[in-house]
Chain A
Amino acid sequence: MRTLAEYLPEHPFFQGLEPTVMDLMVGCAQNVHFAEGATLFRTGEPADTFYVIRHGRVALDIHDPSRGDLVVASLGEGEVVGWSWLVPPYRWVFDGRATSGVSAVALDGACLRGKCDQDPALGYALMQRVSGVLYERLQDARIRLLDVYGSRT
């Protein structure tokens, strides 16, 4: 079985990071597994982790009183889940649920924040990647707001 130090640099989110930066990341990481249907996190709970998905798919659910639970996004292999660890008050705003068996790397948010505070180079490198993913998700959300498949088209 490959170690985290071997696997993480190859994940699309981390590709290109300096080895010294990767070593700091690996120090905050551990392998985790979730069975199909398992909950990774719940709305309102403390957000202290983000997940790098190795295999499987995670659905982000939100509860709408008029429509019940809705899946608003799903993330799979090669993607990352969870940004609430980065922004106060560090609480999840969606439920995260494994829609298949999921293997992931969990990174401790408090550990990462501490290392970023101590090492601006690490913080900048991480924020560049986080910003890229957030940009993609924001564009995704804005276009879906248009309801392009709706009855107006």
Chain B
Amino acid sequence: MSTTSVTGRPSTADPGAGRSAPGDPMIPRLFEVREVRLDTRDTVTLALEPQDGVPLAHRAGQFTMLHAFGVGEVPISICGDPTQPGPLLHTIRDVGAVTHALVSTPPGTAIGVRGPFGTGWDVTDGVGQDIVVVTGGIGLAPLRPAILEVVSRRAEFGRVVLLYGARSPEDILFAEDMARWAAEHNIVVEITVDYGPPSWTGRVGLVTNLVPRAGFDPLNTLALVCGPEVMMRHAATALVERGVPAQRVRLSMERNMKCGVGLCGHCQVREVFLCVDGPVMDYARLAALMDIREL
């Protein structure tokens, strides 16, 4: 359904969809950090509870703006299960001043949350078809809600394949989740790393190289891709070369989101405002934009 964004521009996405506490999207709600879980040497998952008691509903693929008071605000994808009640989960990589402040927040402390914003993976579009997930690094975090949604409705999908690339074995995210999805939910999980110690007996190489050899029906597939932009471009190309229609390849594009409501233009890529038209968009629409260096 087409809606109108706060910019007045027609948008296929409703930036406020799923927001459980209507209000000014520019004003952060207070959430208390309940748990801080160290996932890898530089990546942490925060479990957040709303101080007003109103849970934040979201769709798989959406993001929020997380505010570390006195430091700044960053866009972070939600990585929790959209089909289950529970704390708001965000997996954050410690790469800058704001993310460092967020991952260092002690339990019991409040941070600000705006959103959720943006489009979702909409895995329902893949019902009756194969699902292929290609992801790398922390790109698995935005896809985790989509995978959990597929898991919760596993019988409705055909073959489900997860191809994941990481820098090294110690950088692999959600290893326990992936093992469980493979063992209990008939998901084919293939993991590859850029390099590893001799004790690593798994794959070493690019995640995109797994696409040609993965078992799925290209013309009957919904592909979900998230990771560094270079990886996504090569993954999308490999999927299309394999025969998946570009319209069935969805990417999560993240570029300097600031306001989250299509107002400030920081995330604008030509006519696209990624915070409201994205972050999840199909490759048929993104391919031309990704090839323009100036964008």
Contact = CB atoms under 8 A, between A and B. Distances in A.
Contact of B171 (A71, A143, A149): A149
Interface stretch (B63-71, B78-86, B196-204): B196-204
A73 interface: yes
Interface in A60-109: 60-61, 68-74, 76, 78, 97, 99-100
B195 A140 contact: no
A148 B136 contact: yes
Nearest to B193: A71
Contacts of A150: 167
A151 interface: yes
Given A57-B201, A100-B201, A149-B166, A72 B195 contact: yes
B9 interface: no
Contacts of B206: 140, 143-144
A148 B137 contact: yes
A149 B195 contact: no
Contacts of B201: 57, 59, 99-100
A143 B204 contact: no
B227 interface: yes
Interface stretch (B109-117, B228-236, B256-264, B281-289): B228-236
Interface string B203-239: 1111011000100000000000001101100100000
A146 B195 contact: no
Most-contacted residue by chain A among B93, B204, B230 (CB, 10 A): B204
Interface residues of B, number: 30
A59 B203 CA distance: 8
Contacts of B42: 151
Nearest to B231: A148
A136 B204 contact: no
Interface string A120-138: 0000000000000000100
B165 A149 contact: yes
Most-contacted residue by chain A among B196, B200, B202, B206 (CB, 10 A): B206
Interface residues of A, number: 28
A153 interface: yes
Contact of A149 (B136, B198, B208, B213): B136
Contact of A71 (B195, B227, B230, B231): B195
Contact of A140 (B136, B202, B209): B209
A147 B204 contact: no
Contact of B200 (A71, A149, A153): A71
A25 to B, nearest CB: 23
Contacts of A100: 201
A38 to B, nearest CB: 13
A140 B205 contact: yes
A78 B213 contact: yes
B239 to A, nearest CB: 16
Nearest to B166: A149
B205 A153 contact: no
A114 to B, nearest CB: 32
Contacts of A69: 197-198
Contacts of B198: 59, 61, 68-71, 97
Nearest to A75: B205
A149 B169 CA distance: 12
B194 interface: yes
B228 A70 contact: no
Given A71-B198, A71-B200, A148-B136, A143 B205 contact: no
18 contacts: A60-B204, A68-B198, A72-B204, A73-B204, A73-B205, A74-B205, A78-B213, A97-B198, A140-B206, A144-B194, A144-B205, A144-B206, A149-B136, A149-B137, A149-B138, A151-B93, A153-B137, A153-B228
Given A57-B203, A72-B195, A148-B227, 11 more contacts: A68-B198, A70-B195, A70-B196, A71-B196, A140-B209, A143-B208, A146-B230, A148-B228, A148-B231, A149-B137, A149-B166
Interface of B: 42, 93, 95, 136-138, 165-167, 171, 194-198, 200-206, 208-209, 213, 227-228, 230-231, 234
